Amino acid sequence: MEPLDDSVVPEHAQAPKQQAREFAAEHIAPVAEEYFRSGEYPWDILEAGMDAGLIAQDIGEEYGGSGFDLTQVLAIAEEFYRADAGIGLTLLLASFGAEIVEAHGSEEQKEEYLRPVAENTQITGLAVSEPDRGSDLAGMTTTAERVSDGENADDEYVLNGEKFWIGNGVEADWVTVYAKTGDSETNRYGNYSLFIVPTDALGYEAKHIPEKMAMRASKQAHIILDDCRIPAKNRIGAEGGGFYMLADFFNFGRTVVGGQGIGLAAAAIEEAWDFVHGREAFGRDVSEFQAVQHKLADMRMEFEAARSLTWRAARKVAENDNAGLWAAMAKTKATETATFCAEEGMQLHGGRSVLTDRRIARVYRDVRVPVIYEGANEIQRNLIYNQSSF
């Protein structure tokens, strides 16, 4: 069976999708279990993805990328995550946050920081979440204080605080940091700004978060900013505009997370289908039992519903048509469908589902993550309710 067919994919996104499928079959799927066990960062696969022209290619052509749009990135995400979510996340995170620089940064910032990412000579990350705060964007406590003598052109910001769950926090050449620059009680959302922070800056320290149960081939970091000084010119856009820039960026990102959920759900369905067909119990093929057929039917229906919603959301977000609503719906439905399909797939595998060499067991672990990142699904439901009108 082929759950990830091209029927809902725009014509211009089908070639990148096919390329990603072939790349995943050659470079990701054969080593997915190995990287899950070792927990190592898949530098070799990342470099192969760069050579294949599949990394950081949503950056515009004028800065060295291919200008992939949302539907092209979504098509790639489906294929990467079907092969393996941990490796897939590493590949997608190589430019994470750079898109904010392209949308809101100065020309100087784009040439110095964006172009090397698009040309695959640097990788980056986005530092938002904190140890005690995850989805509360207006409650983050990391601060950025302007230090200036009023005349010096080399004004600085001094950053203090901690960031947690930061993809590529150790590996990246620079990260986009979300920090508090104001203290207005009447405009909480205007208190935050975004900054380009080189990882070799004094006062920047990062270490890996160890031993995750899922997506082990993707590395997240705990970052400590201790009087970390950066030039004032590294602020992205206007001071106080960080929340709004991030909210816009997450509409794109959450739609792509929908594609990640679709890829995981497809993997669960494929594994379950293959396992029950040709396996005997009580003198019959397991696939002949009505209870089994009903589980597979439910998995397929939920999958098709989630995929249709996700691809419709991609069009809505691209057109900026109530983008926040559609991105939240796609992210929530697709990631929860992945969870449902993984749980049903585990049940159909019976006792063998708990064997760590089983693909279904890795999928089952991995689906626990996308329901949380880029805003937990409880937050998405708030957005869906608040942005809906009937």
Confidence of residue 133 (pLDDT cuts 50, 70, 90): confident
Instruction: Give the pLDDT of residue 150.
Output: 60
In a domain, 209, yes or no: yes
- In terms of domains, do 251 and 227 share one? no
In a domain, 1, yes or no: no
Domain count of the chain?
Answer: 3
In a domain, 6, yes or no: no
Q: Does 152 score more than 70 pLDDT? A: no
Instruction: Give the pLDDT of residue 159.
Output: 98
Instruction: Give the pLDDT of residue 355.
Output: 76
Residue 330, domain extent: 244-387
Report pLDDT digits (tens) over 279-338.
Answer: 766 777 777 778 888 999 999 999 999 999 999 999 999 999 999 999 999 999 999 999
- CATH number of 15's domain: 1.10.540.10
- In terms of domains, do 258 and 383 share one? yes
Nearest to 263 by CA among 306, 301, 293, 298: 306
Report pLDDT digits (tens) over 36-58.
Answer: 999 999 999 999 999 999 999 99
- In terms of domains, do 231 and 264 share one? no
Instruction: Give the pLDDT of residue 157.
Output: 96
User: Average pLDDT, stretch 101-129?
Assistant: 96
- 145 tagged catalytic: no
In a domain, 192, yes or no: yes
- In terms of domains, do 372 and 333 share one? yes
| DSSP per residue, 259-321 | HHHHHHHHHHHHHHHHHHTT-EETTEEGGGSHHHHHHHHHHHHHHHHHHHHHHHHHHHHHTTS
Instruction: Give the pLDDT of residue 18.
Output: 97
- In terms of domains, do 39 and 151 share one? no
In a domain, 118, yes or no: no
- CATH number of 378's domain: 1.20.140.10
Range 135-169 burial, b when 16+ CB lie within 10 A, else e: bebeebebbbeeeeeeeeeeebbbbbbbbbbbbbb
pTM to 2 decimal places? 0.94
Report pLDDT digits (tens) over 342-389.
Answer: 999 999 888 777 877 789 999 999 999 999 999 999 999 999 999 987
Instruction: Give the pLDDT of residue 153.
Output: 55
- In terms of domains, do 260 and 365 share one? yes
In a domain, 379, yes or no: yes
- In terms of domains, do 284 and 301 share one? yes
In a domain, 111, yes or no: no
- In terms of domains, do 203 and 261 share one? no
Exactly one of 79, 156, 302, 374 is catalytic; which is it?
374
